[in-house]
Amino acid sequence: MLNVTVRSVVNTSRARAIQATRSYAKKASPVTLKNHKYTAHATATGQGRNGEVKSVDEDFSLRLATPKALGGKGDGQNPEQLFAMGYASCYLGALQMMAGKMGKKDAVKNAVIHTKVHLGEAEELGGFGLAVDIKVEGVEDEELIKAGHDACPYSRALTHGAIVNVSKA
């Protein structure tokens, strides 16, 4: 598992690891975009976790259901699954891109990205928060794994923050 923000404190206590992550995140500034190369459009309707999501620009929709672990029926998808799938595919693409730039394309030919997105109570903030575990299978080159993480837009958003604009429609 690669967790760049906590890597140097792997053998320390959980509290020290959390503090190291927080202090790293505070140093970063949000990612700002020079331009928009692609924009995905989606809508959510119904009852949130028990509603429906649709991609506006494609004919793609999913029925959502609260996971059994959160007291729901678990008979549909949930936002954490969608985030985990998006993150895994984005990271794989970034890893392959960086392998090409570094002249190491063969090093990622068998790469498989495994992501876990955890939903839980956020310490100090209240409410819920996310944590992510990423495992890179089939790649032994640590420098390349880190380069993929550094280039992945999902990793950048979670590590550095992203600009989020909320307004009335």
Residues 50 and 100 in one domain: no
Domain that holds residue 54: 38-77
pTM: 0.81
Determine, yes or no, domain membership for 85: yes
pLDDT tens-digit series, residues 134-160: 999 999 999 999 999 999 999 999 999
CA gap 79, 85 in Å, rounded: 10
CA gap 104, 113 in Å, rounded: 17
Whichever domain contains 126, its CATH number is: 3.30.300.20
Determine, yes or no, domain membership for 22: no
Residues 83 and 96 in one domain: yes
Residue 62 has pLDDT above 80, yes or no: yes
Residues 68 and 133 in one domain: no
Identify the pLDDT of residue 93. 98
CB atoms within 10 A of CB 119: 16
